[in-house]
Amino acid sequence: MDILGIETTCDETAAAVVRRSDDGHGRILSNVVLSQIREHAEFGGVVPEIAARAHVEALDRIVAKAMAEAGVSFAGLDGVAAAAGPGLIGGLIVGLTTAKALALAQGKPLIAVNHLEAHALTARLTDAISFPYCLFLASGGHTQVLGVRGVGDYLRLGGTVDDAIGEAFDKTAKWLGVGYPGGPLVEQAARRGDARRFALPRPMVGRPDADFSLSGLKTALRIEAEKIAPLSDTDVADLCASFQQAVVDVVFDRLRTGLRMFRDRIGMPRALVCAGGVAANQAIRKVLHRVALEAGTVLVAPPPALCTDNGAMIAWAGAERLALGLTDPLDVAPRARWPLEQVTKAATPISSS
């Protein structure tokens, strides 16, 4: 089946066409992403109204480009999928309304995709891995450790009690003046810095659960920066390095605990999978390999372009759901908040293949 996927949850306007074969394997026919970094850079973060307006202006041509690159006609599609949440409500309305119009006009099934489920299933598109597996989802808005047992079947093992890792990186970048988007620039500065210079805390380390907390680490970083202001380039690099190392240490401890919980509640995971923009951070990826090796499993890390927001992951999640007969009515509403635990699953048991 060929599925068109539309992604407009935040500041990327994206569309893609993905083909799912009968044996469950996938192939990306096109994947077009338009970033809004320049529109938001001067504000140091995403402005929801600007993002929604940019989606309105760009989405039609992004969809047309994705269809042209895929060489598939609208009539030849088997379904239309769009991210319906969680995310910025203005952008969600733009993407989901466009998908509804296309589905109605062409008489095709509509699949309203949970953005987090799309991240959770991407490794099945890229690596064809089987259920169950442990997912570390880390982005600007989400930090979660999940047991992925099937399409629509997720066990939350841990999550952040306050800020997401990506948000903490972005706030660090803003306070230290390294620019936007914050995550990649903090990582870049950290390579030049001394991670031992500042004794920053490692929140939640040693706890028996797999939860995260980043607000205290952010506050500690800000206090250290204020103590030595004005900051030199060396100060900024050392603060970035110290912050990133603290995050890496927290991730190692929290995921090690999360994998133990996975084994106790589900069994041996087929893999540790990482998803979300933070998964592109090389220091974090290195420690993920270490955690997976220690747990006796492997790390599956989709290419960076498929870890950040994109249409291919939405199309693939739509294909996985459509293959199980899961579709949505045209009056389905977008949801700014939509926990994975509330995602529907098929009534019949799901194969582990």
Residue 151, domain CATH: 3.30.420.40
Statement to judge: residues 114 and 157 lie in one domain: no
- Give the domain range for residue 310: 2-126+305-342
3-state secondary structure of 148: strand
Q: Tokens 């030199």 map to which residue?
A: 232
Please say if the pLDDT value at position 47 is more than 90. no
What spatial distance separates the first Cα and last Cα of the chain, rounded to whole Å?
18
pLDDT, position 352 = 43
Maximum distance among all alpha carbons in the chain? 63
Statement to judge: residues 16 and 65 lie in one domain: yes
pLDDT, position 353 = 43
Statement to judge: residues 284 and 300 lie in one domain: yes
From CA 116, how far away is CA 336, in angstroms rounded? 12
Statement to judge: residues 166 and 296 lie in one domain: yes
* Measured CA distances, 110 to 66, 101, 130, 324, 341 (Å): 18, 10, 26, 13, 21
138 phi and psi, to 5 degrees? -135, 115
Statement to judge: residues 61 and 158 lie in one domain: no
The domain total for the chain is 2
Statement to judge: residues 62 and 208 lie in one domain: no
Structural contact between residues 258 and 288, judged by C-beta atoms closer than 8 angstroms:
no
Query: pLDDT category, 347, cuts 50, 70, 90?
Result: low
Provide mean pLDDT across the span 39-60.
85
From CA 138, how far away is CA 212, in angstroms rounded? 11
Statement to judge: residues 244 and 277 lie in one domain: yes
Give the model confidence (pLDDT) of 13-40 as tens digits.
999 999 999 999 999 999 999 987 778 7
Statement to judge: residues 337 and 250 lie in one domain: no
Chain centroid offset of residue 53 CA:
22
Statement to judge: residues 296 and 153 lie in one domain: yes
Statement to judge: residues 156 and 83 lie in one domain: no
21 domain-assigned? yes
Give the model confidence (pLDDT) of 61-92 as tens digits.
999 999 999 999 999 999 999 999 999 999 99
351 domain-assigned? no
CB atoms within 10 A of CB 56: 17
Statement to judge: residues 254 and 265 lie in one domain: yes
From CA 73, how far away is CA 314, in angstroms rounded? 19
Give the model confidence (pLDDT) of 256-271 as tens digits.
999 999 999 999 999 9
Statement to judge: residues 86 and 188 lie in one domain: no
Give the model confidence (pLDDT) of 298-328 as tens digits.
999 999 899 889 999 999 999 999 999 999 9
3-state secondary structure of 10: coil
